[in-house]
Amino acid sequence: MKKSETLRAAILARRAMVVPGCHDALSAKVIESCGFEAVQISGFGLAAALLGKPDVGLVQMKDVLDLTWNIAQAVSIPVMADIDTGGGNAVNAAAVTDRLIAMGVAGMNIEDQVFPKRCGHMAGKEVIPAEEMGGKIRACVQARDRLDRDFVINARTDVYSVRGLDEAIRRCNLYFDAGADLAFIDGIGTKKEIAQAVRTLKGPLSVNLMDAVTGVKTELVPIPELAAMGVGRVSIPVASILAEHKSLTDFFRDLKASPSGLLEGQTRRVTPFAEFLEFVGLKEYRQMEQEFLPKENVDRKYK
């Protein structure tokens, strides 16, 4: 079964499939190794990891596509890309969709913010007309139907914080009419509002729980309850970059403060080097050397 077909089937089952966010190939591999079914690339995470900057539209689409390729090649589970506002107008969005499908990506998020966009849980958002966004989705759908009908298009609206839930639902239904497979009301507030959206949308709802710890703008609702409501997908997009920042800050702050300049014996802080080499697949590359390089070269390298 294609990765896109696997992803589509899970979303249409409306069992609140959890899709954590990653910010690079390594974090994607960790998510896969922990047993999750799919991974969502985090635009917020890409901006922070690549540039050390906030998610305010600073990452170029070429960089987004390059990083998406790296992530898609690193894991065997379905990958959903984040293309923000689509790289321009409907023509640009369709071209990006072509590229993603050619990479083997299983789905994507596209949103109705004004470019330059910003993280959905940040203030200062603006949205384009719903009809303009509908045109972007129709263009992306045309590319999808030509290349991979199972590729999942998640239409995100950021209008909730600007004009409220009713307008967000109206927009999502317009986007479903345009051919979207999944809808995402970013920043939706409460469990009651999530239930209302599930009941009134023409297709499955995606809910964003940000970091699975604090909730930020959306109430933290247990996953089994979201599944019982009929939510299609649950994204936890920024946990990987926030967890990395916390871990790195704690480690290097304590290292700097240590009288010896070391953290002797505190093995809980780091993955053992040999274990990490196994995780990133060094053994497989050593086997390739044994198989394909001249024997005398291998013997000389490792004598």
For residue 10, the model assigns a pLDDT of 98
Residue 303, pLDDT > 90, answer: no
The CATH class that applies to domain 3-244 reads: alpha beta
Q: How many CB atoms lie within 10 A of CB 88?
A: 13
For residue 209, the model assigns a pLDDT of 96
- pLDDT band of residue 170 (cuts 50, 70, 90) is very high
Question: How does pLDDT run across 193-241, given as a tens digit for each residue?
Answer: 999 999 999 999 999 999 999 877 899 999 999 999 999 999 999 999 9
| Mean pLDDT over each residue of the chain, to the nearest integer | 96
Residue 208 CB contacts under 8 Å (≥ 6 apart), including other chains: 120, 184, 186, 187, 218, 234, 235, 236, 237
**Cα separation, 279 vs 24, whole angstroms:** 15
Q: What is the mean pLDDT of residues 50-72?
A: 96
Residue 120, pLDDT > 70, answer: no
Work out the percent of the chain whose per-residue pLDDT is above 70. Answer: 99
Residue spans per domain, the chain: 3-244, 271-303
Residue 77, pLDDT > 70, answer: yes
